[in-house]
Amino acid sequence: MYAHIMLPLDGSELSLKALNEGVALAKALGSKLTLITVVSSYHTGVTVPFSSALVQEIEKSHDEEAKKAAEKLHVDMSARARSEGVKCESVVAFGDSPYEEIIAKAQASKCDLIVMASHGRKGLDGLLLGSETVKVLTHSHIPVLVVR
């Protein structure tokens, strides 16, 4: 039914719950799993070029540290999936629009299902769905399974 599942992770408790559901589904269906974390660029808010080299260094440092954190998360979570016998790969993407990156990578990887948490790190309990989840649901032509 679903041969390749994309699973966005941001390290939040709910995204880890989505991982558990995604791994269980992939195991039951014999599906491949691709984990994705989208790292947003760091914006200093500096509009005057008082020290563009310093700003560039801060942005570069942010990107490197965020990528390392995402890769560590993926190593741990991929190991969890593999321990259940699920073939798993991971992608760390950079972009200021996580939902666009998720959809683009899912399409490029020929995923036929996206499993994601209802809220991420920025989620508010009072909202029905997180903003990135809503955007993926709204813009994706690939089916989306939302975990809460």
What does the pLDDT look like over 91-122, one tens digit per residue? 999 999 999 999 999 999 999 999 999 986 55
Q: How many domains does the chain have?
A: 1
- Adjacent-strand bridge partners of 146: 116
pLDDT(129) > 60: yes
Going through 46-125 in order, the beta strands assigned E by DSSP cover 88-94, 113-117
Confidence of residue 125 (pLDDT cuts 50, 70, 90): very low
Q: What is d(CA 84, CA 15) in angstroms, rounded to the nearest whole number? A: 18
Residue 127 has pLDDT above 90, yes or no: no
Return the pLDDT at 124.
46
CATH number at residue 55: 3.40.50.620
What does DSSP assign to residue 98?
H
AA letter at 40: S
C-alpha to C-alpha distance for 143 and 113, rounded to whole angstroms: 5
* Bridge pairing between strands 88-94 and 144-147: unpaired
Domain that holds residue 62: 4-147
Split at pLDDT 50, 70, 90, the class of 26 is very high
Amino acid identity, position 105? K
